[in-house]
Structure 1
């Protein structure tokens, strides 16, 4: 009877022991596969605050990546400065004294928050994109020589007493226009060829007796100069008032003024702050192909969210910045716990066979051959457990990744509440809801899982075997 036959008979002779080993290896293998698959999970989320768009794609900043960049910039400042104060890549932090107490302040500037123009142009150059638009964040500026619309009953605490400029490369593709809420009453919309032009609300035009062709002047909120002038090329009307960007009358619907793309930065005397970019698909039938081509563009996708025409978005990388770390920790814990459990199982296994081992040693059978047989028995059960775990792994991996993603999302929400008010910026993170989490098990993952489980079995049987086989046959038989 050869080694393999003896191993099979031994497994069949002790079914409870064999089933216990199979279950442990099965669970260890499943957890390994779940951890490896979870590190590269594809997380689909939906933004309940953004409307569905037409046959195109909307590019916006990814809030998770923004948080990560803030953390990295803060660490860099602490490394480069002795007191932890300074600026790095558009992120600032400094220490001030308030009522005799030292308080840390942090904020970001436009260069940190803005979409990158070079990335927008790369997407615009993708085959299948027929046109595109860039929209700035609503920019508060002061009106010069004209009055804004105000409501006496509105709480103006903290209001900047200004109006809001929204720059567009092509206003016809602004989301308010695409959604049908904003239409032109007189004149026209702004275009990519325009400079120093604006489109105002009919309420603002009526209050100040303005017509197409007149000019409006604006100045920065802080410096009150220089004054920039824009020619009115259109007057718009809305079906429903646009939701204010912030409280107060500065951002109220009637005080929103659409301009050419670069006019807000001229008035504010600052870097541009591009909030979103819309890319129009030429052929709706090629929508999926265009999306794949966009995803293949040479862009740091971790920085962005790409929203499709259903209002849902696909994160182009692992947005949940702690998810990979959690899965790496899971793999280490599983490896350590798996080794300890298997070690104790084999200790129990060998102690129940001390009489058999003592006789074999007395007959002159080498310790290495005995250990080899025990390892073979373990590998037989392990191989069956691995096969079963490969079948169950896809469903379990999706469920595990979904649970960890939901948990991470809850932690991020709690952290965001704790950090509220800690960073001064006009940026408002979208309300994202996880809609789907998909994992992929590759052949490389299956191979790695098999090697890891095999190594655990080999190490645990070896460690347990040394404790028993190092003793003399007579001592082993006496104990039995």
Structure 2
């Protein structure tokens, strides 16, 4: 009877122990595959406040990447300045005293928050993109020669007492227009060739007896000079009130004024603050191909989110929160724990085979051949366990990644609640809801899993065998009952 035949018969002779090892190795393999698959999980999210409408794409900053950039910039400031104050990359740290207690306040400027114009232009140049739009963050400014719409019962304590400007490269591709909520009542929309023009609400026009061709004056909320003037080119109406960007009447729907792209920055006397960019697809039949071409654009995709026409978002940052780091930690923990568990199983397995080992030694079979038989048994069971784990790995990996993402989303929400009020900026992180988590088990993952499990089996079997085979044959035979 050769080595393989003895190994197979031994496995069937001890079914309980064989099944135990099969179950353990299968679980270990599934944990390895789940960890590897989670690192590259495709996380689809839904953003109800930032949907792209029609055959196009929205580009916005990834909120997780923004938090990471903010943390890195703050750390560099702290490294350079022992007192904790300073600026780096549009991030500013300053010590402030609140109620007698000194605190470190973090603020950001437009250079940090604004989408990069160069990146937008690169995507706009992708074949299949017919046109594009850039939209600014709703900008609070003060009106100089007209009155805004106010609610007498609203709390205006923290309100800017002004109106909100939204600049567009081409207003016809603004999200409010694409959705059909905003339509022109009189005049026209702003275009990419316009300068110092605006479109106001019908309520604002009625209150101030304004018409197309009139001029409105604005200045910054920080200073009354200089005053910038815009010509009214259109009056719009809405089907439903636009959701206020912040509380107070400054951002209420009737006080939203659409302008050409660069007018808000002129009023603020500051750098531009681009919130999103919309890219219109020329041929809807080429939608998927254009999307893939956009992803290949040479820009720093870790900074951005790309939202499709259904409001689904491909998280193109390096990871979702710290999912990749957690997955790597999981793999390390699984490796260590698996070695210990397999080592203990083989210790139990070998010690309960003292009689068998003694008999084999007594008939002249060398220790090395006995070890190879035990290792062969373990490998045979391991191969069956791997095959079983490969069959159920896709479902288990999806469940594991879904759980990890859910935990990370909850942790992010808690962190956002803790950070509320600590950072002063015009930026508001979007409310993203995870709608789907997809994992893919690749051939590379299967190979890596097989090698990892194989190495663990060999190492743990060898370590356990040392405790028995380091004894003299005489001592082993004396232990036989």
Q: Same fold per TM (> 0.5)?
A: yes
Distance in 2, matches of 1:52 and 1:174, equals: 10
- Determine whether 1:380 maps to 2:380: yes
1:406 counterpart residue number: 406
Distance in 1, matches of 2:219 and 2:48, equals: 35
Say which SS state the counterpart of residue 10 (structure 1) adopts.
Answer: helix
Say which SS state the counterpart of residue 447 (structure 2) adopts.
Answer: helix
- Determine whether 1:390 maps to 2:370: no
Residues 298-377 of structure 1 mapped to structure 2, 5 A cutoff: 298-377=298-377
2:82 counterpart residue number: 82
- Quote how far apart the aligned CAs of 1:33 are: 0.4
Say which SS state the counterpart of residue 250 (structure 2) adopts.
Answer: coil
- Quote how far apart the aligned CAs of 1:40 are: 0.3
- Quote how far apart the aligned CAs of 1:319 are: 4.3
What are the superposed Cα offsets for residues 229-267 of structure 1, whole Å, 9 maximum, x if unpaired? Answer: 212222222222222111111111121111110110111
1:27 counterpart residue number: 27
- Quote how far apart the aligned CAs of 1:51 are: 4.4
Kept after mapping to 2: 8 A contact 1:68/1:321: no
Say which SS state the counterpart of residue 374 (structure 2) adopts.
Answer: helix
- Quote how far apart the aligned CAs of 1:339 are: 0.6
Distance in 1, matches of 2:44 and 2:161, equals: 40
- Determine whether 1:221 maps to 2:221: yes
Say which SS state the counterpart of residue 230 (structure 1) adopts.
Answer: strand
- Quote how far apart the aligned CAs of 1:364 are: 4.6
Distance in 1, matches of 2:318 and 2:435, equals: 15
Distance in 1, matches of 2:98 and 2:155, equals: 27
What are the superposed Cα offsets for residues 131-161 of structure 1, whole Å, 9 maximum, x if unpaired? Answer: 1111000001111122222222221011111
Distance in 1, matches of 2:205 and 2:184, equals: 13
Distance in 2, matches of 1:220 and 1:86, equals: 25
- Quote how far apart the aligned CAs of 1:362 are: 4.3
Distance in 2, matches of 1:419 and 1:280, equals: 36
Kept after mapping to 1: 8 A contact 2:92/2:107: yes
- Quote how far apart the aligned CAs of 1:413 are: 1.0
Q: 1:440 to 1:317 in 2, by over 3 A?
A: farther
Residues 84-99 of structure 1 mapped to structure 2, 5 A cutoff: 84-99=84-99
Kept after mapping to 2: 8 A contact 1:42/1:318: no
What are the superposed Cα offsets for residues 319-360 of structure 1, whole Å, 9 maximum, x if unpaired? Answer: 412111111111111111111111011101110111222333
- Quote how far apart the aligned CAs of 1:476 are: 1.8
- Quote how far apart the aligned CAs of 1:52 are: 5.3
Question: What is the TM-score normalised by the length of structure 2?
Answer: 0.96
2:39 counterpart residue number: 39
Q: Which stretch of the first structure deviates more once superposed, 78-87 or 97-106?
A: 78-87
Residues 199-238 of structure 1 mapped to structure 2, 5 A cutoff: 199-238=199-238
Say which SS state the counterpart of residue 250 (structure 1) adopts.
Answer: helix
Kept after mapping to 2: 8 A contact 1:217/1:229: yes
- Determine whether 1:109 maps to 2:109: yes
Distance in 1, matches of 2:51 and 2:355, equals: 74
1:135 counterpart residue number: 135
2:279 counterpart residue number: 279
1:453 counterpart residue number: 453
Structure 1 unmatched ranges of 5 or more: none
Residues 3-14 of structure 1 mapped to structure 2, 5 A cutoff: 3-14=3-14
Aligned length: 480
- Quote how far apart the aligned CAs of 1:369 are: 2.3
- Quote how far apart the aligned CAs of 1:457 are: 0.5
What are the superposed Cα offsets for residues 37-59 of structure 1, whole Å, 9 maximum, x if unpaired? Answer: 10000001111234451121111
Distance in 2, matches of 1:9 and 1:412, equals: 54
Say which SS state the counterpart of residue 121 (structure 2) adopts.
Answer: helix
Distance in 2, matches of 1:454 and 1:84, equals: 51
Say which SS state the counterpart of residue 234 (structure 1) adopts.
Answer: strand
Distance in 2, matches of 1:247 and 1:260, equals: 25
Root-mean-square deviation (CA, aligned residues, Å) is: 1.5
Say which SS state the counterpart of residue 427 (structure 1) adopts.
Answer: coil
Question: What is the TM-score normalised by the length of structure 1?
Answer: 0.97
Distance in 2, matches of 1:81 and 1:2, equals: 73
2:431 counterpart residue number: 431
